[in-house]
Amino acid sequence: MAIDSLRRPASELAAGLAPKHGSLTFAHERLLPVVPGLAALFGVEVTADGTPLGLTRGHTVMCSGVAAVSCALAVAAAPSRAGSWVAIVGEPRLGPLAAAEAGVVLERTVFVDDPRGGDPASVLSALVDGIEIILVPSALIAALPTSLTRRVQTRTQSRGAVLVVVGDTPSIVPDLRLTTRAHEWEGLGNGFGHLCRRRIGIELDRRRGRPTRGDVWMPGERGDVEACVSTGGSVVPLRRPG
């Protein structure tokens, strides 16, 4: 698949996306899946086939800290693999290669140019109407007037989409805040070896509810997200469901 074919100008999305993909939003389904590595943090429900569900439709999720980009892609990966469409808006760090490595399905992903030169609120509203997971940089949200930010967030709630803000900004109050803290890479020795996996501390704060904390490998040895626990001074990945 040619990378250029995945990228869309903001004006095209605002004009024609909602009628094309409007049927993809299923408001009666309250929860979307999360990757198993984040399941303990989210406090999930599990389906009959073992799929962890924990991402609530209509919510705004803010990913900040040292691994904000990786965290945002991890949030989008499981819904994408389950059939949801993903939009990545005005964020050059989130290109097709990074998205694919994180497990996001490119066939159901659109990359939208930065809409700040036109009408960003209309572009975001059109995306919310037709796509379930929308990733936007915090700088884009910060550039919107407060009234437009509220309009986009209200539309996200009513349409059952999930707005994922990459980076921290006081311009919007998220339902969930995922803060990534000090990290360390594993695999390098004294002049030898290669990077195998990165350990990240994550704190999940809810607007309503108690925060949860945990460490994950992001990425793990297989490239995906794996939860980890300390046992006798060593770190061991948790077994996945099933």
Question: What pLDDT, on a 0 to 100 scale, did the predictor assign at position 237?
Answer: 38
Q: Could you say which of 154, 178, 202 is where a domain stops?
A: 178
Question: What pLDDT, on a 0 to 100 scale, did the predictor assign at position 12?
Answer: 55
Question: What pLDDT, on a 0 to 100 scale, did the predictor assign at position 232?
Answer: 38
**Would residue 242 count as lying in a domain?**
no
How far is Cα 37 from Cα 240, in angstroms, rounded to an integer? 8
**Would residue 8 count as lying in a domain?**
yes
Q: Check whether residue 31 and residue 133 sit in a common domain.
A: yes
Question: What pLDDT, on a 0 to 100 scale, did the predictor assign at position 190?
Answer: 53
Residues shown for the chain:
242
Q: Could you say which of 138, 155, 178 is where a domain stops?
A: 178
Q: E-assigned strands of the chain?
A: 7-8, 31-33, 45-46, 52-56, 60-65, 86-89, 109-112, 133-137, 162-166, 176-188, 193-206, 212-217, 226-231, 234-237
Question: What pLDDT, on a 0 to 100 scale, did the predictor assign at position 121?
Answer: 84
Q: Check whether residue 98 and residue 123 sit in a common domain.
A: yes
Question: What pLDDT, on a 0 to 100 scale, did the predictor assign at position 131?
Answer: 94
Give phi and psi for 160, each to the nearest 5: 75, 25
The encoded tokens of residue 134 equal: 């929308």
**Would residue 225 count as lying in a domain?**
yes
pLDDT digits (tens, 9 = 90+) for 196-212: 778 889 999 998 778 88
Question: What pLDDT, on a 0 to 100 scale, did the predictor assign at position 202?
Answer: 92
Q: Check whether residue 169 and residue 86 sit in a common domain.
A: yes
Which DSSP string corresponds to 141-179? HHHS-HHHHHHHHHHHHHHT-EEEEES--TTS--SEEEE
Domain of residue 143: give its range.
Answer: 3-178
What CATH number is attached to the domain comprising 24?
3.40.50.300
User: Which amino acid does the sequence have at 218?
Assistant: M
Question: What pLDDT, on a 0 to 100 scale, did the predictor assign at position 10?
Answer: 52
Q: Check whether residue 174 and residue 201 sit in a common domain.
A: no
Q: Check whether residue 148 and residue 233 sit in a common domain.
A: no
Name the one residue in this structure whose structure tokens are 């389950």: 82
Opening angle at CA 229, ends 225 and 233, nearest 5: 130
Question: What pLDDT, on a 0 to 100 scale, did the predictor assign at position 15?
Answer: 47
Q: How far is C-alpha 241 from the geometric centre of its chain's CA atoms? A: 21
Question: What pLDDT, on a 0 to 100 scale, did the predictor assign at position 238?
Answer: 37
Strand ranges across the sheet with 193-206: 7-8, 109-112, 86-89, 133-137, 162-166, 60-65, 176-188, 193-206, 212-217, 226-231, 234-237
Question: What pLDDT, on a 0 to 100 scale, did the predictor assign at position 91?
Answer: 79
How far is Cα 146 from Cα 154, in angstroms, rounded to an integer? 12
CB 144 within 8 A of CB 118: no
Question: Among 58, 61, 50, 54, which Cα is nearest to 39's?
Answer: 54
How far is Cα 150 from Cα 186, in angstroms, rounded to an integer? 42
Q: Check whether residue 223 and residue 119 sit in a common domain.
A: no
Three-state secondary structure along 109-138? EEEECCHHHCCHHHHHHHHHHHCCEEEEEH
Q: Check whether residue 193 and residue 171 sit in a common domain.
A: no
Q: Could you say which of 136, 152, 178 is where a domain stops?
A: 178
Q: Check whether residue 192 and residue 169 sit in a common domain.
A: no
Q: Check whether residue 79 and residue 103 sit in a common domain.
A: yes
CB 172 within 8 A of CB 153: yes
Kindly give the parts of the chain with pLDDT less than 70: 1-29, 47-48, 50, 186-195, 219, 221-223, 229-242
Q: Check whether residue 220 and residue 168 sit in a common domain.
A: no
Question: What pLDDT, on a 0 to 100 scale, did the predictor assign at position 187?
Answer: 60
Q: Check whether residue 156 and residue 43 sit in a common domain.
A: yes
Number of domains in the chain: 2
Question: What pLDDT, on a 0 to 100 scale, did the predictor assign at position 180?
Answer: 93
